[in-house]
Amino acid sequence: MERIDDLERDGLKIIQNPDKFCFGMDAVLLTGFARVRQGEVLVDIGTGTGVIPILMTGKGAGRMHYGLEIQEDMAEMAARSVTLNGLDERVKIICCDVNQSDKVIEGQSADVVTCNPPYMNDRHGLQNDNRSMAISRHEIACTLDDVLREGARMLKSGGRYYMVHRPYRMADVITSMRKYRLEPKRMRFVYPFEDKEANMILIEAAKDGNPFLKIERPLIVYKSQGEYTEEVKQLYYG
């Protein structure tokens, strides 16, 4: 059943359906990591509920934000969230397969691409029987290579690609990025607690960039069970 959730940022709200898919912390952390400059165009690949383009409007700088989503029902729900927030002039949800995105997004037309992709390929984990959940979490409708190839096609030279993924796929991410002239420039590891292993990575790559990778200080999510660190509170609540 659908519900309307308060994003607790700039009065923004989002429509979600727990029986299909709800956004997670990874999407929020990605919006905090990504940088959009005045007048730039952003494309979010696999937008799901539309949370990334909607939250990115809160940063104020981007001129237009596109969200691409293959699942018709998810795309329709995301579009209603855009209207609910009065963002129709700044956010457009497009239902399409990323592998056919050249029909809706021209090459070298985006300044920024964001992507919170399915993390698991056919070697990782059991697929959820819920089709919508499975598509969101497993490389069924698209692969890591697909989202990087098409994102690189969309980006202008010098444009920036922002991705959140799992540390165990880091070698795959970097290898595929370089195949499509996306040079990793900035990386941050995310840890659930200070004494635990990293469970997410945030990566910024520049199209046609020169090799030089900066590893930023770790991002710790919780300072104690159920209590966010101050930095994560800032990302969530502003």
| pLDDT computed for residue 181 by the predictor | 98
Cα distance between residue 26 and residue 190, in whole Å: 9
Low-confidence spans in the chain with pLDDT less than 70 = 120-141
Cα distance between residue 190 and residue 174, in whole Å: 17
| pLDDT computed for residue 58 by the predictor | 85
Largest CA distance in the chain: 48
| pLDDT computed for residue 138 by the predictor | 46
| pLDDT computed for residue 126 by the predictor | 46
pTM: 0.92
CB neighbourhood size of 34 (10 A): 24
Instruction: Give kind and range of the element (H or E) at residue 171.
Output: helix 170-179
Domains in the chain and their CATH numbers? 3-182 (3.40.50.150)
| pLDDT computed for residue 123 by the predictor | 52
| pLDDT computed for residue 131 by the predictor | 53
